[in-house]
Structure 1
Amino acid sequence: MTLRLPAADGGLRAYEPRTEPLTVSPGTPLTSRTVLSAAHVVADPLADVSPDAPAAVDWDATLAFRRHLWSHGLGVAEAMDTAQRGMGLDWAGAAELIRRSAAEARAVGGRVACGVGTDQLTTGTLAEIRAAYEEQLALVEEAGAQAILMASRALAAAAAGPEDYLEVYGHLLRQAAEPVVLHWLGPMFDPVLEGYWGSADLDAATETFLEVVAAHPDKVDGVKISLLDAGREIALRRRLPRGVRCYTGDDFHYPELIAGDEQGFSHALLGIFDPLGPLAAEAVRVLDTGNTQGFRDLLDPTVELSRHLFQAPTRFYKTGVVLLAWLAGHQSHFTMVGGLQSARSLPHLARAYELADGLGLFPDPKLAEERMRNLLALYGVNQ
């Protein structure tokens, strides 16, 4: 049945939903690339919470979604920005999420890496920032998960220059029990992180970042680059010490970065692999056979959806991610912690539905159509 979706001119246009999904089944483990999906959290829609109250999480649905990702061979990057870390999920909620996901990973044999930050603080001295990082690092290690050292808003505010980043990160890496992932999150994902690594000049910031890695190569499993700049990621990737991986966080150029070139490739730690999970895993399995073109044929068509979800202001991409999880049947509602389901317009949400439907991402296209029809009616668009 035809749906009437919002058009660019402010009117409505006809769209014919897909009737059959893309068939993708869980398969063999991924071998040629390490692939982590940054997973969203499912809010509890029945909780009576105020805007300033701690997030209420539906733990059963949240963990079920992680089992879905693990079943397709993907790892889970937990308590990252996709999980609304710092945008509705506070440190207490993130700590509980880390404990529960790590336990679930052990139970099902899944891989999990967890974000370590400083969101106990809003501001602080360098000593307080180090202590906040240490508290979170200890919790992640005690949970049995790999640590991802996230960018710190407090450090961005407190650091006087590159030397402060070198001191804080060097201190943490010396303490880490196992190699960690260093995460460089650009200001398009979090404007407060402008000038991270001690300079707004990305070339200068890159030198500081690489200096941290070079000083502790045995404690750095890899680096995650989220700058939405493929050329800069490739240049940085080629300068990493041997054995240190590059995990792309570029939701605009991921197919080409994962496929790589004659001088190397990127692994992946991506928010877009939340809605693309099964399709992304299938594409990497094709790449595992050496079929780069087949990998690109599967993944290249998904870039339009990713660019749409991550369009400026990029930090609100989570709204589209959760919409697609609801339409795909992974949760029973379109509600987000912090009320962020309202962060994108109806035309934006409708276009996300159309692009995802065209890719066959919905296991039950009829269910997705019915839910989209209900959402349109809520906004006063009668069919």
Structure 2
Amino acid sequence: MAALAIQNVKKSFGDTHVLKGIDIEIKDGEFLILVGPSGCGKSTLMNAIAGLEEVTSGDIRIGERVVTGLQPKDRDIAMVFQSYALYPSMTVRDNIAFGLEIRKVPKAEREQEVQRVAELLQISHLLDRKPSQLSGGQRQRVAMGRALARRPKIYLFDEPLSNLDAKLRVEMRTEIKKLHQRLGTTIVYVTHDQIEAMTLADRIAVMKDGIVQQFGTPREIYENPVNMFVAGFMGSPAMNFLRGELVAGEQGLGVQVLNGDGEVFVFPLGPDTRGLTGRLGKEVVLGIRPEHLTQVIPHQQGLAQVCRFRARLEVVEPTGPDTLVEIQLNGQGINCRVHPAEAGRAGEPMALMVDMGKAVLFDPATEQRLL
């Protein structure tokens, strides 16, 4: 395997700038996910790593070697596409062995490698079938097997699960996670699905408009988003963005909140609010994830940054392990995640609490994080 370094990579198509100076570096054996909405540049970056797109400027390094100007066949990478790209006239065995045959690997060694990969992916019983006789999940396993048989320095996965149904996506996601844990391979994986990103990655690069908005571990991205785009893109349900006035309350600076019944509360921001005093009386955006807005939990309500308040339930959505409820704060719909046994009915008031120790604050104009 090998480390990967992407250094100030830019890509333009005429006057259209698709990649605007990408800098990413991962260690040998790490799982990198490029995530973002359609058109953000993640697939173009993947193709640049693979050598399918020539970069306008910048360097791509695999291990100790700069591969920027090399052809795909000379980069020692293997790619798994979302369309599987299997040869329909070949058996599973021949599909997996095809790349080895092209490289003139001896037949005995090819057969040994096919068996190794088939056992690893649990498709030994499918080796004599054609792709048309396989399910979507089985075809994806074969596509992965063909890549694994190569033993390259880096594996590239381009939205490999997007053609699968929801249940199969979850199953295959788990299989890819197990595979990476067993093999310790270096993987670059493109997806628009933030759940895939959170569950699979060692490192995540969140992209928008050809720029890496934030690069870090799943926990860093989720708990400490640098701006409103990252905060809103990562997480399901999405983070609540509550617009309100910054005021001075009994516990220091806080955000003034008005519930649907006209009651006023101040959500305290905690002791470290340096640099915010100049914003008193101005609008800010408070970012709170639904799981930090819950029913009152007795052993937590005495904590310094836990604030209790009341609000009327607008919508109640049971999901099984928990219940999502929507309330009105400052005239906005806000999602809370509560225990099913504690959830009331739509139209009823409910005692709730917010953990302000987990909240973040954004500038409404720049959408960058303030606190």
Tell me if both proteins adopt one fold, taking TM over 0.5 as the criterion. no
Q: Which has the larger radius of gyration?
A: 2
Larger % of helix: which? Answer: 1
TM-score, scaled to structure 2: 0.35
Larger % of strand: which? Answer: 2
TM-score, scaled to structure 1: 0.34
For CA contacts below 8 A with separation 6 or more, give which structure has more relative contact order.
1
